[in-house]
Amino acid sequence: MRGFSIIAGFLFVSTASAGIDVGGDFPREKESVILTLTTAGGAPASGAAVSATYGPGSEVLRVVPVGTTDDQGKLSWTPEEAGLVTLSAEIPGAEGEPESLTNTVSVRFAKPPGLGILVMLVAGFILYGGVVRGFLAIRKPVPSFPPDT
Amino acid sequence: MTTKGRGQWGSKVGFILAASGSAIGLGNIVFFSANAYKFGGGAFYLPYLVALFVIGIPVMILEFGLGHRSRRAFPESLHSIAGKTGEFVGWWALMNAAFITMYYITILGWVMGMFFGSFGQLWQSTFPTPGFATAELPNPYGYFFNMLSTWKPLIFVLVVWGLNALLVRRGVATIEAAVRWFVPLMWLFMVVLIIRGITLPHGMDGVWLLFTPKFEAMKNMEVWQGAFSQIFFTLSLGFGVLTAYSSYLPKDSDNTNNSILTALMNCGFEYIAGLAIFSILFAFAITPQASTLSMMFFVVPQGIAELPGGTAGVMAFGLMFFLLLLLAGLSSSISLVEGLAASLIDKYRISRPKAIGIFCTLGAMGSIMFTLPMIVNPNLANDGTLGLTLVDLVDHWAFSYGLLIVGLLECLLVGWAFGAHKLRAHVNRTSVFRLGGWYDWLIKLVIPGLLIYVLGSAIKKEFKEGLYGTTFADNYADAFHWMVSSPAVILGMWVIITVGLSLVFTMKGNYRGEEES
């Protein structure tokens, strides 16, 4: 339980790894994209087992296997939901030492989410409606009621 | 009780700006977003709003009501309802708040350092980090840890303490004058960041991510615990400052409306901060981290570094972000300083300059401890420097436990020792929205029950996983292996100093009108 938390652990958070490419624009949920994996040496990463972690670092994260890359280091992936997704791959090494690749991508919504918009509007109405009402109330003189019995 | 010579807020709006400024701090800007991401996005709003209306606003009404009723700061307010026992709780809250103030101002010193770094060095790709295992680190990590491993932050910390002393030198007059600038500027800067964020390519998808609920998170009790803790911390409850602020209100003040307005402005600020933070992070595929310092110093600056507009654009938004943090932090820290200064003035009838001088001098010495630059963890598996490690350890007890303990005790004192119905009667006398009997049950049973549950869960975790900080021992450099016992030592010192000083302040001296024993 942390209120004003401090760094829980130092992570080198990188926004992109050269090893896993998802193509030009942000992928969209439910639309396939072709992943292209390359090793540190620049060669296609064939036979790499790829998994997708939806909601990395959250309490609702889930890891879903995506598949294994072909000889050209390519693999088709259809994001299951929108949000932040960390793609991870283990490439079997020639001398038994695997190489790990990661890339965190933002997956777009297929269309604006109705439920999300509803939450935004309801929460906003409660908070800012209350603020407006409160400021209007402070302009009025305060009545002095007799003590409660 | 006479109020002769006691300051008074110049206007109702001035008080609301000051109170909301006290509540809106560093955590509002970044921590809520990180928590919302961690606990299921829009689904987190349900426990959050429940916590706001069941715990946050009722306790705020209690704290405002106490100060307004007694026209005195926290210890004397509690003394007026529960004698020396109440007074002890009040002083303990302030001693705990003093610990928090010391490292909070250290953190503001780091913010000031990052602000100056935003003029250029922070946006280089890497920065040298001599003394650490890696000779240079990618920015912003490199700049931040380089700064922490030098004595430079000491200068910034002393400047921030000086600013605090300046801004509270004439009490509510100078505080109100300051917040009339600070708070509107905070909102303005946040709106500019929102516009920048949502106009980024796919920035709006970040906003949808913030609000789209993942209801499976609600099955996890940690989400509810997180919400209850979050609302307590975000509203600045348990520091004693809201009682001090409300002691300067005129008699005909509507404290129920004041509480609702202050709380909703605070939570409203978190709401819009989420829009800015999530849109920027999503646009650059950066994962939020549930740590205020990580978000402020690493995650968000990473996003700012990616903003289009060249060096000038990045620099402008970087400066704005850190200035926003500085303003939010200052509006909170001046309330912390005022809370303790007012208490010393009330009890010992010393002058304001003397009270401020005492606290700021001792406080600055404490803050210096938190700036110690020795590198204890060169691999950065934990906090890196001695100062940051001390902040981490002290924060764990003072912030995560101390505030909730104060909240529990003040509810029990008001609810059972004094009578919640009496405070309710006082508040209702000048409130348009009149609290019913349900309020008494919230104060007497529901809120204490929830706080006991949250504290109990935390203590259980402490026993299960070991005292917080014991795992740091694996990563200390050889020269700092003596710090293996630091978690227990810090805990012991926190308990001894807060309890000891509270006893001294409680037993030494009497309030006006109190018979000499």
Q: Quote the ipTM score.
A: 0.92
Interface test with A, best of B212, B302, B306 (most A CBs within 10 A): B212
- The pLDDT score that the predictor gives to residue B374 is 93
| A-chain residues near B254 (CB < 8 A) | 137-138, 142
Residue B242 to residue B2: CA distance in whole angstroms: 20
| A-chain residues near B268 (CB < 8 A) | 127-128, 131
- The pLDDT score that the predictor gives to residue A147 is 61
CB A3 to CB B217 under 8 A?
Answer: no
**Who among A12, A59, A106 is closest to B282 (CB)?**
A106
Alpha-carbon gap: A24 to the closest alpha carbon of chain B (Å): 13
To the nearest whole percent, how much of chain B has pLDDT over 90?
A: 86
Nearest to B230 by CA among B44, B378, B359, B415: B44
Residue B48 to residue B36: CA distance in whole angstroms: 9
Backbone angles phi, psi at A20, to 5 degrees: -125, 115
- The pLDDT score that the predictor gives to residue A16 is 40
CB B208 to CB A116 under 8 A?
Answer: yes
**Who among B268, B288, B382 is closest to A131 (CB)?**
B268
pLDDT tens sequence across B420-438: 999 999 999 999 999 999 9
pLDDT tens sequence across B393-410: 999 999 989 999 999 999
- Find residues 439-498 of chain B whose CB sits inside 8 Å of chain A: 454, 457-458, 461
Q: Which long-range contacts (CB under 8 A, 24 or more apart) does A123-131 make?
A: A123/B42, A123/B45, A123/B49, A123/B211, A123/B271, A124/B271, A126/B49, A126/B264, A127/B264, A127/B267, A127/B268, A127/B271, A128/B264, A128/B268, A128/B271, A130/B260, A130/B261, A130/B264, A131/B261, A131/B264, A131/B265, A131/B268
CB B49 to CB A112 under 8 A?
Answer: no
CB A1 to CB B461 under 8 A?
Answer: yes
- The pLDDT score that the predictor gives to residue A25 is 86
- The pLDDT score that the predictor gives to residue A139 is 82
- The pLDDT score that the predictor gives to residue B2 is 37
- The pLDDT score that the predictor gives to residue B272 is 96
Helix H, strand E, coil C: the string for chain A is CCCCCCCCCCCCCCCCCCCEECCCCCCECCCCEEEEEECCCCCECCCCEEEEEECCCCCCCEEEEEEECCCCCEEEECCCCCEEEEEEEEECCCCCCCEEEEEEEEEECCCCCHHHHHHHHHHHHHHHHHHHHHHHHHCCCCCCCCCCC
Nearest to B264 by CA among A117, A116, A120, A129: A129
- Find residues 263-322 of chain B whose CB sits inside 8 Å of chain A: 264-265, 267-268, 271, 282-294, 298-299, 302, 306
The token pair that represents B322 in the structure block: 């850190």
- Find residues 382-421 of chain B whose CB sits inside 8 Å of chain A: 382-384, 388, 391-392, 395-396, 399-400, 403, 421
Residue B2 to residue B8: CA distance in whole angstroms: 13
Half-sphere exposure of B126 (CA within 13 A, CB side): 9
Strands (E), B162-259: none
pLDDT tens sequence across B306-344: 999 999 999 999 999 999 999 999 999 999 999 999 999
Mean pLDDT in residue range B440-465? 94
- pTM (2 decimals)? 0.93
Q: What is the pLDDT along chain A (149 residues), one digit of tens a residue?
A: 233 344 433 344 433 444 899 987 899 999 999 999 998 888 898 899 999 999 999 989 999 999 999 999 999 999 999 999 999 998 877 666 678 899 999 999 999 999 999 999 999 999 999 999 999 998 877 766 666 55
Q: Does B182 touch chain A (CB under 8 A)?
A: no
* Burial class of residue B447, CB neighbours in 10 A (0-12, 13-18, 19+): buried
At residue B64, does pLDDT exceed 90? Answer: yes
Measured CA distances, B371 to B127, B388, B490 (Å): 20, 7, 16
pLDDT tens sequence across B130-166: 999 999 999 999 999 999 999 999 999 999 999 999 9
At residue B448, does pLDDT exceed 50? Answer: yes
Q: Which residue of A has its CA nearest to B235?
A: A3
* pLDDT level of residue B291 (50, 70, 90 thresholds): confident
Q: Does B141 touch chain A (CB under 8 A)?
A: yes
**Who among B204, B260, B396 is closest to A130 (CB)?**
B260
CB B457 to CB A137 under 8 A?
Answer: no
- Find residues 1-20 of chain A whose CB sits inside 8 Å of chain B: 1-13, 15-16
CB A137 to CB B254 under 8 A?
Answer: yes
- The pLDDT score that the predictor gives to residue A12 is 41
Nearest to B429 by CA among B104, B122, B65: B65
